[in-house]
Amino acid sequence: MSDYKTIISREFGTVVADIKKLANKKRESWYQSEQKLEESFIEILKNQNYEYLEIHDNKTLVKNLRKQIERLNNYKFQSDNE
């Protein structure tokens, strides 16, 4: 049987971690650049089925924001001025 560490406990649920898995988790012993850290974080999110969208300018950012607001609110913007 595995040993578990309680992370948080509430009335309707408890979050635990497998201590053996935590102990065996590889830790970096060297400095990681910000770029490498971001790449690692993006890869972790992709593995959790998040979609990665490359946005390199303000126009693309606004376009994606409008698209997500339309999808979330079931609304269609009538013009670019809204």
Helices within 1-82 (DSSP H only)? 19-24, 34-47, 58-73
Whether the predicted pLDDT of 57 surpasses 90: yes
> pTM of the prediction?
0.48
Output the pLDDT for position 32: 83
Across residues 47-67, what is the average pLDDT? 92
Whether the predicted pLDDT of 75 surpasses 70: yes
Give per-residue pLDDT as tens, 13-52.
Answer: 888 777 665 555 666 677 889 999 999 999 999 999 999 9
3 state SS of 50: coil
Give the C-alpha separation, 16 to 18, whole Å.
7
Whether the predicted pLDDT of 68 surpasses 80: yes
